[in-house]
């Protein structure tokens, strides 16, 4: 899962693990340490005020800059940022993931889970800045907190939607690495008619959130849903029939992840960005269907649902966003 400032006074203490003789000292810069603390503070704020995620299970979090890796078993689950424990180790261009696999150091942010082992990995702003990643409208650090909130939410959702993902893997007969949030775009990205339908569905769903007229909002949502059904019926046949469930699941994960990031970015106690700037430079930014149509779907469900849809999306996984939209339209 992919895959985008609160400044606090806390200082992250980096404890160096026992190292070989003459090993270089390892320390994250003060600016990057401040961002990590602020991002983890934003996670706690979003859990309390936006998603309602409770009793987050512990999992390893890995942050790294050009030469140092910080690892914590409780960065996301400790009650406060001050209670987070860290281990620091130097690296020479390669990051060792919690599962033991090496990964080149570079711009990245992702969550992973395999059985009981889940972890989160992200490079610090200095790495992103060195690679010329920018977001002038929101600020790089603010955008990156949104990315962290998106990916962190996925770890909370893996228990909720894990059974659906396993069923999709079984039905597809594809290697596990091929089952990801871009599976539909990878399969049909060059299909002009398919892509045109996705674009139209997405735009209609965005319009649902913007219209003040309830009847018009429902009409727009029904039109988008009819287009989605028609597209799936036309192309998700035979060996591709599993893509109906795959698309619903990934739209839910990517859409809700983008939604919580957007909500923090515009919150007065969060990123404090203007909604128009956040919409143009985060919600609508990028080329990935699952993220763009997913957040449009989340906006539409948030607009129309007469029930606590966040309970399903972030905690129990009983319904996908598509199923929630259907439930909202049937009431």
Partners of 118 in beta bridges: 113
Both 179 and 213 in one domain: the answer is yes
Both 324 and 250 in one domain: the answer is yes
Both 150 and 178 in one domain: the answer is no
- Return d(Cα 223, Cα 200) in angstroms, integer: 10
State pLDDT tens for residues 42-86: 999 999 999 988 767 789 999 999 999 999 999 999 999 999 999
Q: Domain boundary residue among 156, 185, 215?
A: 156
Both 87 and 180 in one domain: the answer is no
**What's the pLDDT score for residue 12?**
32
Q: What is the pTM of this model?
A: 0.89
Q: What is the DSSP letter of 19?
A: -
How far from each other are the two terminal CA atoms of the chain, in whole angstroms? Answer: 33
State pLDDT tens for residues 221-238: 999 999 999 999 999 999
Count of domains observed in the chain:
2
Both 194 and 325 in one domain: the answer is yes
Both 176 and 322 in one domain: the answer is yes
Both 201 and 119 in one domain: the answer is no
Angstrom CA distances, 93 to 10, 60, 133, 142, 149, stand at 28, 20, 19, 26, 26
Both 175 and 312 in one domain: the answer is yes
**What's the pLDDT score for residue 179?**
81
- Name residues whose C-beta falls within 8 Å of residue 307's C-beta, 6 or more positions apart in sequence: 327
Both 279 and 240 in one domain: the answer is yes
Considering the domain boundaries, does residue 10 fall inside one? no
State pLDDT tens for residues 130-152: 999 999 999 999 999 999 999 99
Considering the domain boundaries, does residue 224 fall inside one? yes
Strand order in the sheet with 117-123: 87-90, 68-72, 60-64, 117-123, 109-114
Considering the domain boundaries, does residue 65 fall inside one? yes
**What's the pLDDT score for residue 112?**
86
Residue 118 · residue 74 · CB < 8 Å: no
Structural domain boundaries, residue 246: 167-330
Asked if residue 1 has pLDDT above 90, the reply is: no
**Which tokens go with 143?**
């955008």
């Amino acid at each position: 899962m992919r895959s985008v400032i609160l400044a606090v006074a806390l200082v992250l203490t980096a404890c160096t693990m026992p190292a070989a003789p003459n090993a270089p000292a390892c320390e994250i810069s003060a600016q990057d340490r401040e961002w990590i603390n602020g991002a983890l503070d934003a996670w706690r704020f979003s859990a309390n005020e936006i998603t309602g995620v409770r009793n987050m299970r512990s999992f390893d979090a890995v942050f790294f800059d050009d030469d140092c890796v910080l690892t914590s078993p409780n960065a996301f689950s400790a009650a406060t940022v001050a209670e987070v424990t860290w281990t620091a180790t130097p690296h020479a261009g390669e990051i060792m993931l919690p599962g033991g696999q090496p990964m080149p150091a570079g711009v990245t942010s992702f969550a992973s889970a395999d059985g009981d082992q889940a972890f989160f990995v992200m490079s610090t702003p200095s790495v992103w800045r060195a690679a010329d990643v920018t977001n002038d409208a929101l600020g790089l650090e603010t955008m990156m907190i949104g990315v962290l909130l998106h990916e962190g939410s996925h770890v909370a959702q893996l228990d909720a939607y894990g059974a659906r993902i396993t069923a999709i893997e079984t039905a597809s007969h594809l290697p596990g690495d091929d089952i990801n949030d871009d599976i539909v775009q990878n399969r049909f990205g060059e299909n002009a008619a398919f892509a045109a339908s996705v674009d139209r569905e997405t735009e209609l769903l965005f319009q649902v959130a913007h219209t003040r007229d309830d009847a018009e909002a429902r009409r727009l949502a029904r039109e988008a849903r009819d287009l989605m059904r028609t597209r799936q019926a036309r192309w998700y046949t035979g060996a591709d029939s599993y893509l109906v469930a795959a698309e619903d699941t990934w739209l839910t994960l990517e859409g809700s992840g983008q939604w919580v990031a957007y909500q923090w970015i515009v919150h007065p106690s969060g990123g404090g960005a203007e909604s128009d700037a956040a919409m143009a430079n985060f919600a609508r930014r990028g080329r990935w269907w699952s993220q763009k149509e997913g957040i449009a779907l989340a906006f539409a469900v948030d607009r129309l649902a007469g029930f606590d849809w966040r309970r399903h999306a972030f905690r129990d996984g009983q319904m996908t966003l598509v199923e929630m939209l259907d439930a909202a339209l049937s009431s």
